[in-house]
Amino acid sequence: MSQPVGAPAAQSHPLPSYLQADHLGPWGNYLQQVDRVTPYLGSLARWVETLKRPKRILIVDVPIELDNGTIAHYEGYRVQHNLSRGPGKGGVRFHQDVTLSEVMALSAWMSVKNAAVNVPYGGAKGGIRVDPKKLSMGELERLTRRYTSEIGLLIGPSKDIPAPDVNTNGQIMAWMMDTYSMNTGATATGVVTGKPVDLGGSLGRVEATGRGVYTVGVEAAKLTGLALEGARIAVQGFGNVGGIAAKLFAEAGAKVVAVQDHTGTIFNSKGLDVPALLAHVKTRGGVGGFAGADVMKAEEFWGVDCEILIPAALEGQITKDNAGQIKAKLVIEGANGPTTTEADDILHDKGVLVLPDVIANAGGVTVSYFEWVQDFSSFFWSEDEINARLVRIMQEAFAGIWQVAQEHKVSLRTATFIVACQRILHAREMRGLYP
Ligand code: NAD
């Protein structure tokens, strides 16, 4: 039963050690964001502890036989942060620096993001601590299949639906879908999204996150009077999110002047040839060695003269050490968690407008939702329909968040958290505690 307004706050108990903020890093950053939103939650604040504890954490050992005959063990995770609004939804990351703290934070940001764009999902995330670039295709397939079997306890089309994230793609989703289907005895296309189109994937899914980044960028530019034509853009990360966002901004007349990825930092004040750079990255694996640009020192990237900065690589990139150098008027967070809380404050004080990850990169999960709906109904939409629905959802969500930010005089991050956490905690309250 719901409690009346003004009911006493829930009694707090010490947090398990792995949830404490002194395990800093992404989870600590997320906890600070929750603390900032709590004063705006009204009577729902009594449920806020729910947001500070993932519902389920699964840590799995993933053993595989390498091509040379040795057995290697990798650590894998699946975290379901909150399922109040629906099944878990969130990507799977393969990266050598994946940690439990990171996966927990990413799962929590998925809860917030899914609620911010009002898709009927809770938040989840998974990952394996591995450098997949060191594995052969066969090893990668064995790793993916064993991981999928190990997390099979949690995932399913109406339970928890993984998707691609850093270093995972349509092929890996196809192996995940096949493994789950083999284990359950029926083809279950709806168990993952981001699949190839021939396997129940959706048109427009590959471009969706970048398109969402672009869409909110256009809206923010309109609201702040920033002309996109000729605007200079710097992008960190030139993969699925950064590459597509750069392409769309360039097509709209902006100049992508600097790009940084794990292979180098490149610069061209006249604007990089984005289609040529995308083709280069496809064959060479990164921007390093691109002929149409000068090489720049990595640490100079953040101080590049530009109007728009798009971090689209990993979390914790904009910190108190480099935020002061940023010259952009608009930062659009394609990546999850790229800005630390201290850096967020520095940018705010400098008058830089930050479009936070929890709305800016929500285009991917929005089209994942469309993919899931199409798989359930076995009826597929055209790419134009997908893109039109995506743009409408992103525009409406962004407009609502903008209004909340104006009303409460808070940052767009806090405004997004206000909208999303109210939705999550209201669902929590309406459902009540079981038993
Ligand atoms: P990706 O694997 O396609 O690309 C990652 C990019 O980051 C690559 O260009 C890589 O070179 C670069 N990178 C990695 N380490 C780096 C470093 N140390 N310095 C600079 N660049 C580095 O991944 P993606 O799918 O584009 O994801 C990028 C970010 O966007 C992640 O934070 C991810 O969680 C987030 N995101 C992705 C999606 C999606 O649909 N793919 C959706 C929402 C959010």
Residue bearing the bigger pLDDT, 9 or 164: 164
Q: Which residues line ligand 1 (CB under 6 A)?
A: 164-167, 209, 236-242, 260-262, 286, 312-314, 334-336, 361, 364
Q: Is the dihedral of CA 353, 356, 361, 363 positive or negative?
A: negative
Say if CB 236 and CB 242 are below 8 A apart.
yes
Query: Which pLDDT score is estimated for 1?
Result: 37
Whole-prediction pTM value? 0.94
d(C-alpha 257, C-alpha 273), whole Å: 9
- Pocket test residue of 89, 109, 209, 244 for ligand 1, highest count of atoms within 8 A of CB: 209
Closest CA to 143 of 85, 87, 97, 95: 95
Among candidate residues 89, 113, 125, 329, the one labeled active-site is: 125
391 alpha carbon to ligand 1 midpoint, in Å? 22
Using the predicted structure, report yes or no on whether residue 236 has a pLDDT greater than 80: yes
Q: Give the closest residue to 160 by CA, choosing from 194, 124, 128.
A: 124
Mean predicted confidence (pLDDT) in 193-217: 97
Strands (E), 160-218: 160-161
Question: Cα torsion for 16, 18, 21, 25, to the nearest 10°?
Answer: -170
**Greater confidence, 28 or 123?**
123
Q: What is the pLDDT of residues 73-91, one digit of tens each?
A: 999 999 999 999 999 999 9
Domain ranges of the chain: 54-188, 206-360
What average pLDDT does this structure show over 259-278?
98
Q: What are phi and psi of 346, to 5 degrees?
A: -65, -45
Fold of 54-188: Rossmann fold (3.40.50)
220-242: average pLDDT: 97
Active site residue 125: yes
Is 206-360 in the same CATH topology as 54-188? yes
- The mean pLDDT value of the chain amounts to 95
Distance 167 CA to ligand 1 centre (A): 8
CA of residue 43 to ligand 1 center, whole Å: 38
Instruction: Look up the CATH superfamily of 206-360.
Output: NAD(P)-binding Rossmann-like Domain (3.40.50.720)
pLDDT at position 6 is 47
257: CB partners within 8 A, 6+ apart: 232, 233, 234, 267, 268, 269, 271, 272, 304, 305, 306
Residue 23 pLDDT level (bands cut at 50, 70, 90): low
